[in-house]
Homo-oligomer: A and B are copies of this chain.
Amino acid sequence: MTGPDTRPDTRPDEDADPDSPEGRGGAAVVIPAAPPGSGRTGLDRRRVLGAAIEFIDAEGLNALTMRRLGAYLGVEAMALYRYVPGREQLLDGVVESVIDELYGDPDVHLAASHGWQDYLQRLAHGVRRIALAHPEVFPLVATRPPAAPWVRPPLRSLRWVESFLDALIDSGFSEASAVAAYRAYSSFLLGHLLLEVSQKGVKISPEDQPEGVPGAVATTDLSEYPTVVRLEALLSLDESAAEFEEALENLLGRLEVVLREGRTPRRGDTRG
């Protein structure tokens, strides 16, 4: 079984709130906000983070300020500090929430009875779905300093590391190979997905395209780059999806060799 610790209400919300200032001992039930109608009022850490994600998706990362997020939630900026210690931690929370979406992804969470390769495939596709769903957030997922050196982007969660390693070890990988596989897998996902989302983003980003402006710069002098010019059509093709599949297949193939032969494939291996 490979899913990260299956059922037990591993919900990312509630609990795990280390910063609640002091109170907390309250005998009464608390019930933090959320009146019957679950109306737009009743702030809540989860709602704040969710709003931040929506806001970034819609307006871009640079547009997110405490004040604007407050306004988006119909509240003054200062009210947010009740749910989040500051802006940096808001961003940390955003990254965590986005990654936590993986836990709700049924395609990833399937009982992983189809072997480690199937599991790694589904996990990779789950992460890719998240990256494509939140292209403005993914650079944050990619670059926020991880909590520990072995919690790597883009998985970023102890639970996924645990589940990844267990899956491989249960399938016969040595501990060292499982760790090496985890590293190679992270690096593949990170590089590929970061490039894919940034390629997506560039289609909108050109900001101010100067119009007429006759004698203007006109980008660059392309005559010095004849090959680039000649291959422009090829270079502009977006084959991200196919490349992702291919690189993933290749990685799995390499890991298979490690598992079967207990060694790392080398440069000449592919000869017959």
Contacts and interface: CB of A to CB of B under 8 A. Distances in A.
Interface of A: 2, 5, 18, 88, 139, 142-143, 145-150, 152-153, 158-159, 161-162, 165-166, 169, 175-176, 178-180, 182-184, 186-192, 194-195, 198-199, 201-203, 205, 216-217, 219-220, 222, 224-228, 230-232, 234-236, 238-239, 243, 246-247, 249-250, 252-254, 256-257, 264-270, 272
B198 A143 contact: yes
25 contacts: A2-B88, A143-B143, A145-B198, A146-B202, A149-B199, A149-B236, A149-B238, A150-B236, A153-B198, A161-B225, A161-B228, A161-B235, A162-B225, A165-B227, A175-B230, A179-B231, A183-B195, A187-B191, A190-B191, A253-B265, A254-B270, A256-B267, A257-B270, A265-B270, A272-B272
Contacts of A227: 162, 165-166, 169
- This protein's copies in its complex: 2
Nearest to A219: B147
B195 A194 contact: no
Contact of A175 (B178, B234, B239): B234
Contact of A159 (B142, B150, B225, B239): B225
